[in-house]
Amino acid sequence: MEEIIIDAKDCVLGRLASFIAKQARKGFKVIVLNAGKAIVVGKPKKILEKYLSRFRLGGTSQKGPFYSRTVIGIWKRAVRGMIGWKKASGKKAFKLIKFYEDVPKEYKNKETVNVDRFKKKVTDFITVEKLSRLIRQK
């Protein structure tokens, strides 16, 4: 099984998540490094409000939907929505994806895929790491 290593630093979360989902559905093992350094485009206040409103929807804590407050959880939720995870093929593809907040020792010297097309020069954005920190504070 071929392995695709991606450095998510300064990449747009949604654009990169769709690429990751496609590659996993094709059968490639996908490793995402620096997941916390990816960005979510938009005004930071609005993005934070959107994520916080999901937690305030009400209902009991035993029923869903469940939203994670961690960097890895935010990434998994984004990719999961694009992969068709309720089907057997989607679950199989979802297991092929690994996320890391930093670069582990075993991937330090390995070559990463060129992801410049997923980077965008914007002024209004928030990193996934900062978003996760702000969500956990509230």
pTM above 0.95, yes or no: no
What's the total number of domains in the chain?
1
Q: What is the pLDDT of residues 65-120, one digit of tens each?
A: 888 899 999 999 999 999 988 999 999 999 999 999 999 999 999 999 999 989 98
Q: What is the pLDDT of residues 22-51, one digit of tens each?
A: 999 999 999 999 999 999 999 999 999 999
The domain that holds 111 is classified in CATH as 3.90.1180.10
Domain that holds residue 27: 3-137
Could you tell me if 40 and 47 are in contact, meaning their C-beta atoms sit under 8 angstroms apart?
Answer: yes
Show the tokens assigned to 114.
């060129």
Give the residue, 121 or 94, on which the prediction is more confident. 94
Estimate to the nearest angstrom the gap between the alpha carbon of 8 and the chain centroid.
9
pLDDT given for residue 37 in this prediction = 96
pLDDT given for residue 132 in this prediction = 95
Reduced 3-state DSSP string for 17-40: HHHHHHHHHCCCEEEEECHHHCEE
The candidate with the shortest Cα–Cα distance to 14, out of 74, 56, 70, 101, is 74
